[in-house]
Structures are given as structure tokens and as C-alpha cells.
Amino acid sequence: MTLKKFGSITATLATLVALTLTSGLTVLTEYADEREVQAEYDW
């Protein structure tokens, strides 16, 4: 396996990880916002 090929695979994996983290954080923050809104309506 050449170094160039290894580099491109690493870059692809890094991109996938970044996308996964970003979407995961987005879902978490949206869920947290919904919980806060529901808590306000409980009052």
C-alpha cells in the first residue's frame, strides 16, 4: 500500500468521522432544545 493511497483513505475516514460527529451533535442539540421547550410548557 502506497503512502499516497494510505493518505487518501485516512482523509476519507477523517471526513466520515467529522460528518458523524457533526450530525450527532446536531441531533443532540435539537433533542435538548425540545426537552427545554417541553419543560417550559409543563409550567
Under the banding of pLDDT at 50, 70 and 90, the label for residue 43 is: low
**Burial degree of 39 (CB within 10 A; 0-12, 13-18, 19+):** exposed
pLDDT tens digits, residue range 1-17? 688 888 899 999 999 99
Q: Could you tell me the pTM of the whole model?
A: 0.55
| Sequence ranges of the domains in the chain | 1-43
Neighbours of 33 (CB within 10 A): 10
